[in-house]
A and B are shown apart, each in its own frame.
Chain A
Amino acid sequence: MAVSRREFLKLMAGAGAAGAAVAAGAPTRAEAHDFTGNPDRYGVLCDTSLCIGCRSCEGACNVANNLPKPVDKAQAFENLKVLDTKRRMDHAHFTVVNKFAKAETGRAETFVKQQCMHCDEPACFAACLAKAFTKTPEGPVVYASDHCIGCRYCMQACPFYVPTYEYQDAFTPRVRKCTMCYDRVKAGGIPACVETCPQEALIFGKRDDLLKIARRRLDAENSGYVDHIFGEKEVGGTCWMYISKVPFDKLAFHTEVGIEALPRLTYGYLATIPVLHVGLPVLLAGFYVITRGIGKASKDEEAHK
């Protein structure tokens, strides 16, 4: 195992060159650590005070994503009786609108559209061991079923309980969730739900612009809005954002999520792994070297006696 001086120098020169190559193309520490996302990424602002609960966004979503059609009239998107019970997304519904009655909100009757929030630092992405999730530069968080092994860690990690699953499918179940109509956005279009909304309760645009619009509405005199943009800072920021005239906790928002991006909670642990991988074998080999004589030594002594 002896390494000659020449070999050693060659090795070091190689290492140095590799280091320099990495350094040349690498961002500075500040750029890497404080990256706040693509400044041109898109988002949607949902003004719950404008939503009338017509469910046309649900219908448009169904068509745009080729989801299973409603089985009967009771399920039809024109049927507003559906709003009498609280629903959540499932594999056939990437978005649902829920009604919160006056009695629940303490103020006006309010409708809330629910779908994937498209986090800037998604927990589903950090959960996936096969890179099935991508945070696209345009903003949408998308899923690729051809990467998926079906462990459902993404579903369990999502702080908003968004991803749904095709449990009825025995062989090729997929995780299903809103894609923010990524294909349409990429082609210069806008999400189907935004396009169809008759109230302009949904606005599609660059996230930075949406924040300005939201702030203007909140700051207008006697606006009546709660002074909070849900999604501006939640879990590190999301591309879907909400403003409301009713406190968010009365509208079943996940107000408990906090502002820290969830993937960061695992960074500290993950950073210990390389140290463990390199340091432990050395330590354990040391134990082996120290203790390997134990059985033998006593045998030798016995032989001497």
Chain B
Amino acid sequence: MNGQAITAVDEKTSWFRDKILMGKTVGEYVRSLVTPFNVIAAMILAVGLPVMAYRFWKGLGASTHLSDINPWGLWLGFDMFFGVAVATGGFVMVVGVYLFGRKDYKPMVRPAILTGFLGYFFAIMGLAIDLGRYWALPLPFYYFGTASVLFLVAEHLCLYLMIQFIEFLPAVVEWLNLKKIRAWLDKIHIGAVILGSVLVMGHQSALGAMFLLMPTRLHPLWYSTFIPYLFFVSCLYGGIAMLIIESMISHNVFGYQLKGQEHSEAHMNDLTIGLAKAAAFCLFAYFALMTLSLARGLAHGDFTMNTLMHTGYGWWKWFEIGFGVVLPMFLYAYAVRGNNAGLARAGSIVAVLGVMINRFNVVMVGLNWNAPVRYFPSWMEIMGSLTLATIGVCVFKWIVNRMPVLYRLPDFPDVDH
């Protein structure tokens, strides 16, 4: 009796030690946490978590610079509009691998889905701290405000989060060694991929379509009937660029996991170049669409050449396109031509910054441009966004350290879909 009980406890301890503490004792594990990254993250959280608590205790008025005239700010601009735009790596990868037959990209699918899932999850967390009545978040699904573009966004974000969870679940069940569930997940996999892809096209464009209601409140250089499609195309290269950055960092940080796996440094560079090619095409499509959009605005008299050439907004628009679109487009193109993965990585950083500048311009710079009071985020808003991003990176690290994300377990060979 006694002996059995002890064994059971032992098994439990060893499971915990094995799965959660990565095979270390509690003392060893805690000591292993003291790394430069973790110390910085802890410092951010030490300030950021109380700031969030303050927001929930005292309200948006006490913690943000939001006002009746500027009801939207950094938490929507950064966490929701930018965060979601660069979290499409998972979508791009599953479409490429499972629908377009680029099976050579399989090693990148799981990290891409994890990045995407966490990106969406923390975008919704950002929304939750921004919502006045965060506790009422499910209400739209009870009242069904289908006349609203935002309903489409909410519905699709919610469903797509679940889809990404299902897409990532194989890594979780492999970690927990649940063979039966893994086999069942393989069966529903392709359905999840197709449904997820439809949802991404829906909500990414819908995020842009939200601004169709604001022809006077959004600056004419950013208001465009093309805005749903501009948002969708930019999320494609945003997602790819983020994916390149993520794989670059993962391979530096988690390189020890990749010993004996098939993707070598050279293979990784090839994949990066391939992604750079795709991103360059998307950037070019975006550039063309943006040019058409501006030409249309000029032709319709929404703004004049004077707005474009002689106002701060005009110059800022040039910068957005020049730095955020044209520069990464050429960096990618040269990277592909010279087979230079390093240049592709540099291009990715510029491209992601470009998407961020664009979303900030729409949500914060261009919006309410003619209002008497302009918006600038409070330090608590900046801290809140930084905190959520930090938690996101920590969760990513926690999962990649434990689950088969970058590598595959020998017990679970890849199923050909």
Contacts and interface: CB of A to CB of B under 8 A. Distances in A.
Q: Are A and B a genuine interacting pair, yes or no? A: yes
Interface of A: 88-91, 123, 125-132, 147-153, 155-157, 159, 161, 163-173, 254, 256-258, 262-263, 265-266, 268-270, 273, 276-277, 280-281, 284-285, 287-288, 290-292, 294-296
Nearest to A282: B194
Given A276-B198, A277-B198, A149 B213 contact: no
Given A153-B210, A173-B60, A284-B99, A130 B134 contact: no
B144 interface: yes
- Give the interface size bracket for B toward A: 35 or more
A276 B201 contact: yes
Nearest to A133: B145
Interface in B115-160: 127, 130-134, 136-137, 139-140, 142-145, 147-154
A283 B69 CA distance: 44
B416 A165 contact: no
Contacts of B101: 290-292, 294-295
B76 to A, nearest CB: 9
Nearest to A164: B68
5 closest A-B pairs (Cβ-Cβ)?
A150-B132, A291-B101, A167-B61, A170-B59, A152-B71
B123 to A, nearest CB: 14
Contacts of B217: 156-157, 159
A237 B98 CA distance: 51
A171 B62 CA distance: 13
B31 to A, nearest CB: 40
A165 B133 contact: no
B417 interface: yes
A270 B149 CA distance: 7
Contacts of B212: 265-266, 269
Contacts of B134: 149-150
Given A150-B132, A156-B72, A280-B198, A273 B152 contact: yes
Contact of B131 (A151, A164, A292, A294): A151
A204 to B, nearest CB: 26
Contacts of B253: none
A155 B147 contact: no
Contact of B194 (A168, A172, A288): A288
A161 B56 contact: no
Given A149-B137, A165-B68, A266 B149 contact: yes
Contacts of B140: 129-130, 149
B77 to A, nearest CB: 12
